[in-house]
């Protein structure tokens, strides 16, 4: 591995630096939050969290790697919301225990340091597809939801019908293999689009519709690490709403936003030292029940454990990242109706 981290004392707040083959490279750790490399455009919450970092002194390699992995986070990545759990467990363990991709916003920082390669990424994709297969089979067997993928699959598909059963069986036959044939998954997704709305596929190809539908237009489809799962999600959304007038776009955003709210509430409660039972969201959920929200909160509190200054800073970075992951952020989101979900951030003073 030719790349190495620059000594921490020379790294500006909010950035990370690497020396690779005598050449220095710098990464903005807040790009997936602010979509700007200009620190002048960072908001007061980012400035306040950077001030927390200023007071920490030196950080060890694991702390820096966890923060770098967080900078990759994307709420529409196939690992979401498991990606959030991976990050807060690593914060609690103070170790980059699972250097998987949690998004595509990190500009290959961890790749440069040798933590991502084709073998590890292929293994990760197989694990994701395996979790989809398990969830699809549970839906066919009418089993209970257990994992976050279960909630996603069950929610997208909705009520069990014979027609949906046939589609799901076809989908399982395509992805439950040693080697995925991407073109087959795409063809099935295209059929589902046509079944839902004959003009929908044309619109998806001509206009940028947002995930999980933009891979129908993606010119680099063969190299896109998210395309197979986006085609799967698109299929499930179309088939799940065949007999309904509901928008498949609204449904996908609902899944994202309910998880963003549940995890933000849980992480914020740890920062504010509130008991998990006091932070259950009071909304009518489709994907996160009150029981599941409490399970998430308990897991967050258990995984993070006792506080120290570095852990507070990393957890604050995570809360801000989840809340403000900007590329796919809508003008108004579910979390905007729940100020308590990120209230700890409001206690910070950017001038200190």
pLDDT higher than threshold 60 for residue 1: no
- pLDDT-based confidence at 57, cuts 50/70/90? confident
Half-sphere exposure (CA, 13 Å, Cβ side) for 144?
2
pLDDT higher than threshold 60 for residue 221: no
pLDDT attached to residue 46: 96
CB 52, CB 313: distance < 8 Å: yes
- pLDDT-based confidence at 130, cuts 50/70/90? very high
Under DSSP, the state recorded for 7 is P
Six token digits for residue 201: 């596929």
The 10s digit of each residue's pLDDT in 254-285 is 999 999 999 999 999 999 999 887 776 666 77
The 10s digit of each residue's pLDDT in 302-325 is 999 999 999 999 999 999 999 998
What pTM did the predictor assign? 0.92
Q: What average pLDDT does the segment 169-180 reach? A: 88
The ranges assigned to domains in the chain are 3-118
Higher local confidence (pLDDT), 53 or 109:
53
> How buried is 176 (Cβ within 10 angstroms: 0-12 exposed, 13-18 middle, 19+ buried)?
middle
User: How many secondary structure helices (H) and strands (E) does the chain include?
Assistant: 14, 3
What is the H or E stretch that residue 20 is in? strand 15-20
pLDDT attached to residue 281: 67
**What does pLDDT average to over the chain?**
88
Q: Chain centroid to CA 332: how far? A: 19
Rounded (5°) CA angle 278-280-282: 120
Under DSSP, the state recorded for 6 is P
What angle do the packed helices 290-304 and 82-93 form, to 10 degrees?
A: 30
Residue 223: count other Cβ atoms within 10 Å of its Cβ: 8
pLDDT higher than threshold 80 for residue 107: no
pLDDT attached to residue 10: 92
The 10s digit of each residue's pLDDT in 20-48 is 888 889 999 999 998 889 999 999 999 99
């Amino acid at each position: 591995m030719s790349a190495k981290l620059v000594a921490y004392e020379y790294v500006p707040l909010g950035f990370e630096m690497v020396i690779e083959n005598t050449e220095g490279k710098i990464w903005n750790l807040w790009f997936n939050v602010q979509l700007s490399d200009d620190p002048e455009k960072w908001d007061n919450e980012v400035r306040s969290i950077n001030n927390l970092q200023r007071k920490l002194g030196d950080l060890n390699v694991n702390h820096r790697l966890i923060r770098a992995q967080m900078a990759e986070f994307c709420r529409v990545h196939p690992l979401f919301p498991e990606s959030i759990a991976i990050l807060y467990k690593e914060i609690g363990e103070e170790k980059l225990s699972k250097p998987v991709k949690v998004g595509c916003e990190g500009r290959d920082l961890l790749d440069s340091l040798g933590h991502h390669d084709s073998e590890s990424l292929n293994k990760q994709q197989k694990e994701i597809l395996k979790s989809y297969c398990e969830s699809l089979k549970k839906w066919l067997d009418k089993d209970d939801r257990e994992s976050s993928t279960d909630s996603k699959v069950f929610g997208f598909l909705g009520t069990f019908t014979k027609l949906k059963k046939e589609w799901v069986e076809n989908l399982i036959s395509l992805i439950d293999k040693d080697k995925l044939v991407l073109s087959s998954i795409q063809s099935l997704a295209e059929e589902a689009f046509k079944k839902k709305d004959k003009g929908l596929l044309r619109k998806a190809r001509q206009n940028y519709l947002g995930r999980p539908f933009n891979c129908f237009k993606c010119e680099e489809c063969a190299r896109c690490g998210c395309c197979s799962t986006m085609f799967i999600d698109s299929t499930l959304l179309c088939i799940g709403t065949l007999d309904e007038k509901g928008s498949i776009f609204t449904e996908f955003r609902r899944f994202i936003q309910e998880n963003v709210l549940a995890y933000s509430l849980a992480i914020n409660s740890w920062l504010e030292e509130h008991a998990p039972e006091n932070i259950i969201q009071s909304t009518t959920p489709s994907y996160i029940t009150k029981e599941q929200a409490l399970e998430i909160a308990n897991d967050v509190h258990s995984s993070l454990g006792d506080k120290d200054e570095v852990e507070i800073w990393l957890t604050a970075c995570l809360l801000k990242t989840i809340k403000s992951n900007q590329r796919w952020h809508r003008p108004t989101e579910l979390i905007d109706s729940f100020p308590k979900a990120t209230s700890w951030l409001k206690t910070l003073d950017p001038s200190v």
